[in-house]
Amino acid sequence: MRTIAVLGGGIGGLAASYYLCKSPQISKVVVFESSNRFGGRLWSTRRSDGAVFEHGPRAIRPAGAVGHNTLNMVDDLGLAMEILPVTHSHVASKNRYLYVNGQLHRMPSGISGLLRTVPPFSRPLLLNIAMEILVKKGTEDDESIHSFVSRRLGKELADIAVDSLCRGVFAGDCKKLSVRSCLPLLYNAEQRRGSLTLGLLLGSGPNPVVTPGPLAQRSIKESWAQWSLSRGLESLAESITEYLQQSEIVQLHREAAVKQISPSASGWMIHLEDGVISADHIISALPAKALASSLPPSCQPLIQELQDISTVTVAVVNLEYDGSILPVKGFGHLIPSSEDRGVLGVVYDSVSFPQHNRPKGETTRLTVMMGGAWFQEEFGAPEAVKDEHLLARATEVVNCHLGVNTAPSWSWVTLQRDCIPQYYQGHYRRVEAMQRFIRKNNLSLSLIGSSYDGVSVNEVIFSGRTAVEELLGRGV
């Protein structure tokens, strides 16, 4: 008879609860979420005319073990009918742009793109790739992404392409982010094969294996590059919530902020605003700093490591324009920090997912993402920044980069505060130290969510599954 408390009702906490309630070994699962809704960063607006806008994640990758795992869950939840796939041959998969020197440049792709000199790069990228095989293996146990890529592929690629990609995934600074924690595939390729090219061709070590179910098999057969859901990605969180509500062993609490957790003879006492609940084990899916502020002083070394995990704030501005206004078609464009520090990129949502456009009359939906690691220096303190200022900057970018001089017919500004953890150099050591502390002190505590081993929705869901498997493996 075991009670598991799940702290945090974002996709990480929901996924862990989903896996827990599939196990006959568990008798009770109690989920605590501080806000009035589940889903955390998964947040979709469904307008009454049928249009859908994402204020958080907008597309999930189907590939690999973590991608198959999420699709297996989607299938199990009965959401397969709602899936919106984007195949590799779709224009949104083929075309991604960089905005450099005041112009949009299509990112090189395919063999022909690598053989030619494609601006903004000054020579064919195949040369960088060919030379990479000859570069000696690094000696550091971790390195910034910028330093790693400069060393192996050249400074130009690091300054433009990799700088932009880090902004388009982590909203972060590639000179601070860790290659080992953010791009483990590339780090392992160098470690195991001495080269990225060889590592990617020959494989670079064991990966988790997940048997693809029918939907994941369909994604392979049809060559999907990304997917969303017809009612937006928040419906994944809503479906898990509905599934959990039907389970007799799950209790879901909204507006239930965890204030303090303290050890007890059998596990933990969880202190809320209006009461105390006991649990045998805690799965924390809280942001690292929120967990740090709840832990007892006896956990000081763990508290310190958790507090030291930085996060960044992203301003997300959804824009809708009447008509078809884009000069190019594709996923969107990224902006390197050398071009504009404050604006990270623009997603052309209506190209990837036209199904989310309102059904009547042609419209274009865009999302401008701003801030990230540069938020404070560009916009000031997040609590003081005005929505009108963010909206004005976003529409100015659309005008300047895409030549759109009409005003949007609809807009929405969201400030996603402290939303993407930054895995700085040495992050892997921090995670190892936290796990060591938990083991050494026999704490009945699992850490999941985006603060530790991957920020994508797939990785966060997989972290929930792994924690539950480890817990059950210990015979809880």
Ligand X SMILES: Cc1cc2nc3c(=O)[nH]c(=O)nc-3n(C[C@H](O)[C@H](O)[C@H](O)COP(=O)(O)OP(=O)(O)OC[C@H]3O[C@@H](n4cnc5c(N)ncnc54)[C@H](O)[C@@H]3O)c2cc1C
Residues that bind ligand LM7OVKF4 (CB under 6 A): 61, 96, 165, 167-169, 171, 226, 314, 331-334, 344-347, 369, 455-456
Q: Which helix (H) or strand (E) holds 113?
A: helix 110-115
Cis peptide before 120 (omega within 30 of 0): yes
Cα 10 to Cα 460: distance, rounded to the nearest angstrom:
10
On whether the CB atoms of residues 330 and 97 are closer than 8 A, the answer is yes
Which CB sits closer to ligand X, 33 or 280? Answer: 33
Q: Which residues pair with 363 in a beta bridge?
A: 322
43 binds ligand X, rule: CB under 6 A:
no
Indicate which single residue of 4, 5, 11, 183 sits in contact with ligand X (rule: CB under 6 A).
11
The entry of ligand X, ligand LM7OVKF4, none near residue 46 (CB within 5 to 8 angstroms by kind) is none
- Residue 265 to residues 269, 322, 383, 443, Cα–Cα distance (Å): 10, 63, 41, 12
The entry of ligand X, ligand LM7OVKF4, none near residue 34 (CB within 5 to 8 angstroms by kind) is ligand X
Indicate which single residue of 92, 258, 402, 413 sits in contact with ligand X (rule: CB under 6 A).
258
Which CB sits closer to ligand X, 57 or 62? Answer: 57
Which CB sits closer to ligand LM7OVKF4, 3 or 226? Answer: 226
165 binds ligand X, rule: CB under 6 A:
no
- Quick one: which of 289, 268, 308 has its CA closest to 427? 308
Which among 5-13, 117-125, 148-156, 276-284 is the span making contact with ligand X, rule CB under 6 A?
5-13
230 binds ligand X, rule: CB under 6 A:
no
Which CB sits closer to ligand LM7OVKF4, 243 or 353? Answer: 353
Q: Which helix (H) or strand (E) holds 219?
A: helix 214-221
Which CB sits closer to ligand LM7OVKF4, 260 or 399? Answer: 399
Which CB sits closer to ligand X, 32 or 424? Answer: 32
Which CB sits closer to ligand LM7OVKF4, 87 or 304? Answer: 87
449 binds ligand X, rule: CB under 6 A:
yes
The entry of ligand LM7OVKF4, ligand X, none near residue 332 (CB within 5 to 8 angstroms by kind) is ligand LM7OVKF4
The entry of ligand LM7OVKF4, ligand X, none near residue 96 (CB within 5 to 8 angstroms by kind) is ligand LM7OVKF4
CA angle 224–93–124, rounded 5-degree value: 130
372 binds ligand X, rule: CB under 6 A:
no
DSSP string, 223-290: TEEEEEETT-THHHHHHHHHHHHT-TTEEEESS--EEEEEE-SSSEEEEETTEEEEESEEEE-S-HHH
Size of the site for ligand X (CB under 6 A): 37
Cα 10 to Cα 37: distance, rounded to the nearest angstrom:
9
On whether the CB atoms of residues 229 and 73 are closer than 8 A, the answer is no
62 binds ligand X, rule: CB under 6 A:
no
Q: How far is the CB of 37 from ligand LM7OVKF4 (least distance, A)?
A: 20
Q: How far is the CB of 64 from ligand X (least distance, A)?
A: 12
CA angle 368–371–376, rounded 5-degree value: 155
Q: Which helix (H) or strand (E) holds 28?
A: strand 28-32
Residue 473, judged by CB atoms within 10 A of its CB (0-12, 13-18, 19+), counts as exposed
79 binds ligand X, rule: CB under 6 A:
no
Q: Given 3-state DSSP classes, what are the helix, strand and coil percentages for the chain, each rounded to the nearest 5?
A: 40, 25, 40
Q: How far is the CB of 413 from ligand X (least distance, A)?
A: 12
8 binds ligand X, rule: CB under 6 A:
yes
Indicate which single residue of 191, 217, 456, 466 sits in contact with ligand X (rule: CB under 6 A).
456
Q: How far is the CB of 418 from ligand X (least distance, A)?
A: 8
Cα 271 to Cα 383: distance, rounded to the nearest angstrom:
28
Which CB sits closer to ligand X, 157 or 295? Answer: 295
Which CB sits closer to ligand X, 19 or 121? Answer: 19
- Residue 146 to residues 63, 166, 368, Cα–Cα distance (Å): 26, 10, 24
- Residue 390 to residues 60, 73, 333, 442, Cα–Cα distance (Å): 26, 37, 18, 47
Rule CB under 6 A: which residues touch ligand X? 7-13, 32-35, 40-42, 56-60, 257-258, 285-287, 290, 314, 316, 416, 419-420, 449-450, 455-458, 460
